[in-house]
A and B are shown apart, each in its own frame.
Chain A
Amino acid sequence: MCKDLSKRFGEIEALQGLTLLVPRGTIFGLLGPNGAGKTTTIRLWLGLTEPSGGTAFVLGRRIPPREVLPQIGYMPQDVAVYGDLTVDENLALFGRLVGMTAESIEDRTEEVLELVDIATRRHHLVSTLSGGMRRRTSLAVALLHDPDLLLLDEPTVGVDPELRAAFWTYFRDLTRRGKTVVITTHYMEEAARCDRVALLHQGRLLAEGPPSVIKQRTRTGNLDEAFLALVRGEREPRG
């Protein structure tokens, strides 16, 4: 999805020569602490910011990918739905912006609201909902048009464990239908459920591959330890 991608904000190098390939039909985790470059990567893929160097491709198109945008579902880290619109109105707006018909919006709205478990609140103003419900509304917007690629920036923050499990089941279903799901997270135990993960640290790629392979390679028991081992290894190169 990107080759030698860099992004600089003034003095800060948010991303330094990132090269990644996200296979279709997988759940792909972008992991790393705050400031690792996860969100920057997603914004670059969406064409929301210009790269300082390198190139990015999304669904086979070089960005900025205006014509592929309708096939992408995006859930930003901050809740980005209109508080002064109802849940329904938010879904209708974004559905229309990606070119859905009124009927398909109607059908899909019911489906995704059931999934994120806020169907009973569909006529409520988003500003009257709890923080968790707002995030679920934001996720519903991203899922509405059944996109080929989902870019979800910390989708499960503030979501209770039961619902989180339901989300993961749904994401897994999506990949079976050939959809690709990219998730950023700093929960390593969640990352372990991804097909492949990329570990980012200070804008650089530390490792990429299936979680089990990364653990094996670093001779660690979980991704947390793997991450720490890789960071240590980067500071004190072996040999």
Chain B
Amino acid sequence: MNARRVLAVAQKSLSQFRHDKRTLVFVVGMPLLMVLAFGYTFGGQVHDVRTLVVNQDAGPMGARLVQNLTGDTLSLASYADVASARAEVEAGRAWAVLWFPANFTQDLLGRRAVLRLLLDGTSPPIAGAVLSSVRAAAQTAFAGTGGAAVLTLDSEYVYGSSDTRFIDSFAPGVIALAVLMVTTIFSVIVIVREKTGGMLERLFSTPLAPLELVLGHAAALSLIAVAQSAVILVATILLFQIQIVGNVALVFAVLLLFAVGNQGLGMVASAAARNELQAVQFIPLVLFPSLLLGGVFYPLEAIPGGLRPLAYLIPVTYANDAMRSVMLRGWGIGDVGIDIVVLAAYAIVALLAAAVFIRRQA
């Protein structure tokens, strides 16, 4: 094992990307496209959500928040009392009620105000849009008095229930899927390309060992995967106001392990394939089970019992669980220990398997 040779392969792989401008565009463009597609399809860029405002606040802060509810997401109407506003929601004529209690301004200045929300939670994208609009408005309105931090949203679900927005709950999974897709696509091509050009044999006529070749490629592709994850993360935060409560470094560590595992698996397929067409057919084989069984869009609990054990054989299940727990629940490394161990084992086994397969080819 020689680190210089691993680095030489990694640098070569990165140089190849650098010379390939179209692929560079793809590297940044595709995950962004995925985030946009998922975000806007599922995130629900909803409009004109009928929202009733009951402002009993004696001070100016309630009104100030309402003034900041700009844009066309919410369509506001004022109501004098909570009971009649609630009746509107119960009757399905409105989606939400914002209720500012009489001492709202006073509490806010005392740094712990509560805004009461009545929500129809039957449509997560709509409930999510109401919540994110209110959060965003509070952020602007109370910028001088400590921002949204001093405000507690006390949501009461008239119908349905949800702790998080739909997009919040699947954003970590979408990031994991984007990483899965991109790492698989590149790694599945990389060995077969060396092979068909006669380069694999040329490389192995030097002291380069199969594992060094695999590690070199994995290092280069991981760097790309991490850069892509950063792009995706920033895009989801900017476009969909995803809140990350956990440690971003841990998020990247999870993604990195997951990416390396996928690359190993992709290189196994690549080594087994005789040409690029055969290699590419491997991509849907990985992608579809991951989409359907990995718990990104449907919770594992919703997967029929007979299929559920399969879900635990799919690496994205662990990546998604870890990402979600860290990003949304703020869990630390100890809390997602099992996920990390599984992903690390996946990475090691996949890389070694790739080295063995490539050795057989040479």
B75 interface residue, CB < 8 Å from A?
A: no
| Bound-complex Cα distance A40 to B231 (A) | 49
B202 touches A98 (CB 8 A): no
Given contacts A48-B362, A99-B4, contact A89 B15 (CB under 8 A): yes
Q: Chain A residues near B201 (CB, 8 Å)? A: 43, 48, 76, 80
A93 touches B8 (CB 8 A): yes
Cβ proximity bits B334-362 to A, threshold 8 Å, 1 near / 0 not: 00000000000000000000000000001
Looking at chain A, what size class is its interface with the partner chain? 20 to 34
Q: Chain A residues near B8 (CB, 8 Å)? A: 92-93, 96-97
A14 interface residue, CB < 8 Å from B?
A: no
| Bound-complex Cα distance A125 to B15 (A) | 11
A46 interface residue, CB < 8 Å from B?
A: yes
Looking at chain B, what size class is its interface with the partner chain? 20 to 34
B206 touches A94 (CB 8 A): yes
B interface secondary structure, majority = helix
| Bound-complex Cα distance A98 to B16 (A) | 20
A177 interface residue, CB < 8 Å from B?
A: no
B76 shortest CB reach to chain A, Å = 57
A82 touches B362 (CB 8 A): no
Cβ proximity bits B1-34 to A, threshold 8 Å, 1 near / 0 not: 0001101110110011001100000000000000
B213 shortest CB reach to chain A, Å = 10
Given contacts A48-B362, A66-B207, A69-B205, contact A96 B5 (CB under 8 A): yes
Which residues of chain B from 198 to 230 have any CB-CB distance to chain A below 8 Å in the complex? 198-199, 201-208
Given contacts A72-B205, A74-B205, A98-B207, contact A82 B198 (CB under 8 A): no
| Bound-complex Cα distance A76 to B199 (A) | 10
A78 interface residue, CB < 8 Å from B?
A: yes
| Bound-complex Cα distance A144 to B92 (A) | 78
Given contacts A84-B19, A96-B5, A98-B207, contact A89 B197 (CB under 8 A): no
| Extra 16 A-B pairs, beta carbons < 8 Å, given A80-B201, A82-B12 | A48-B362, A78-B198, A81-B202, A82-B199, A83-B197, A85-B15, A85-B16, A93-B8, A93-B12, A96-B5, A97-B5, A97-B8, A97-B207, A97-B208, A99-B207, A125-B19
Q: 13 A-B Cβ contacts within 8 A?
A: A48-B205, A70-B206, A70-B207, A76-B202, A80-B198, A82-B16, A82-B197, A84-B20, A85-B16, A89-B12, A94-B206, A98-B207, A125-B19
